[in-house]
Copies of this chain bind each other. A is one copy, B any other.
C-alpha cells in the first residue's frame, strides 16, 4: 500500500476530496484555486471553504509533473562554508520567498564535475539556477543555458543572464591606496585556479601597479578558505613586499591570524587588503581594509533576473531570453589593516 497514511489515518486530501465536498468537478476546484477569476464567485467561495475545511494543500510533485513548473530555484555555491556566499544566499532567499519560490541550496565542492552532474539532475527539479562562481567551461555553460534558465554571478557570458561584482575596479583603488601610502612592492595572494574572478582581480592589480610604477608579484594559488591564510602569510613574508592584496577576505582574515602568530605587525610591517567585505571584515583585528562589494544585492538582482526570465513561461522558454546582465560597482573601504610602510624593514 503506497498511501502515506501517517497517523491521522487518512491520506493527504486531494483535489478530488475538495471537489466532492464542494459538490463540483475536480477541474473546477483546480481552476478556482489557481485562476480564481475564471470561476463564479459563489462557486469559488464554496470551493475555498471546502479546501479550508479539509486543509487542502496542493501536491507540488503532481503540479510540477503536469505543468512543468516546480516552484523551486537552485542556488549553487562552490562551498557553503564560505561566508561570501552567505550574503548571496540571503539576498536570493529574500527575493525567492517574495515570489513564493523555494530555494534549493547546493554545494558543488569547488568541482566542475560535481557541478555538472548535479545540474543534470537539478534541471528537472527546479525552474532555474543561480550559478555563483561556476567552474563550468564556456561550452558546457552554453549547452546548459540552452536547456534551462540560468543566471551566473561573477561569470559573465554572452546570452546568459549574469551579475558581476566589479571587484576589479575596487582592486585598482586598492593599489592606488597602497601606492599613495608609499608602498612599492606589492604581492597578490592568488585564489583558486580556474576562477574567473581570481584572474580578473589579478589582472586589475597588475595593470594598476604597472601604471603606478609599483612592483607586483603573485603567489601560488590558494583555495579560498581561512586556513589558506597560514601558507599565504608565509608566502608573502618570504618576499620583500610591504603590502599584499588577498584574493578575498576569508584568506585575508586567515592571514591576519598567522601574522599575529608570527609577530608581524599589521599594518606597520605589512599592509593587508582583502576583498568582498564579508561578515567579520569590520571586526577582525585590525579591521580589514577591503574591497566592499554589494554581495547581498547581487543575490537579489540575480534572482530577479532569473525570475523575470522564467516567469514568462516555464522551462520552455529557457535560452530564449537574451539574458540581461548587471554589473555592480565596488569600492575600497579603508580600515586599519593598511598604513604607511615602515621606513626601514
Residues of A within 8 A of B (CB): 2-8, 12, 55, 57-62, 64-68, 70, 72, 80-81, 83, 86, 89-90, 93, 97, 102-107, 120-125, 146-148, 253, 256-257, 279-280, 282-287, 314-316, 318-319
B316 in contact with A6 (CB, 8 Å): yes
Please tell me which one of the listed residues B59, B81, B257 contacts residue A124 in the complex, with CB atoms under 8 A apart.
B59
Q: Which residue from chain B places its CB closest to the CB of A117 in the assembled complex?
A: B57
Q: Which residues of B have CB within 8 Å of A104?
A: 72, 102-105
Given known A59-B65, A68-B2, A124-B57, contact A319–B7 (CB-CB < 8 A): yes
Q: Which residue from chain B places its CB closest to the CB of A74 in the assembled complex?
A: B102
Given known A83-B86, A283-B285, contact A6–B103 (CB-CB < 8 A): no
Q: Which residues of B have CB within 8 Å of A280?
A: 279-280, 283-284
Q: Which residues of B have CB within 8 Å of A314?
A: 4
* Majority DSSP secondary structure for residues of A touching B: mixed
Given known A93-B107, A107-B93, contact A121–B60 (CB-CB < 8 A): yes
Q: Which residues of B have CB within 8 Å of A148?
A: 6
Distance (whole angstroms) from the CB of A42 to the closest CB of chain B? 27
A103 in contact with B105 (CB, 8 Å): yes
A107 in contact with B97 (CB, 8 Å): yes
Task: Give the complex CA separation of A125 and B105 in angstroms.
Answer: 15
Q: Which residues of B have CB within 8 Å of A8?
A: 146-147
Given known A279-B83, A280-B280, contact A318–B61 (CB-CB < 8 A): no
Distance (whole angstroms) from the CB of A157 to the closest CB of chain B? 15
Task: Give the complex CA separation of A93 and B75 in angstroms.
Answer: 13
CB-based closest 9 A-B pairs:
A7-B146, A61-B64, A105-B105, A285-B285, A4-B315, A280-B280, A60-B125, A61-B65, A6-B147
Q: Which residues of B have CB within 8 Å of A105?
A: 89, 93, 103-105
Q: Which residues of B have CB within 8 Å of A106?
A: 102-103
B60 in contact with A147 (CB, 8 Å): no
| Residue of A105, A257, A285, A314 with most partner-chain B CB within 10 A | A105
Q: Which residues of B have CB within 8 Å of A123?
A: 57
Q: Which residue from chain B places its CB closest to the CB of A149 in the assembled complex?
A: B6
Please tell me which one of the listed residues B57, B80, B253 contacts residue A89 in the complex, with CB atoms under 8 A apart.
B80
B124 in contact with A6 (CB, 8 Å): no
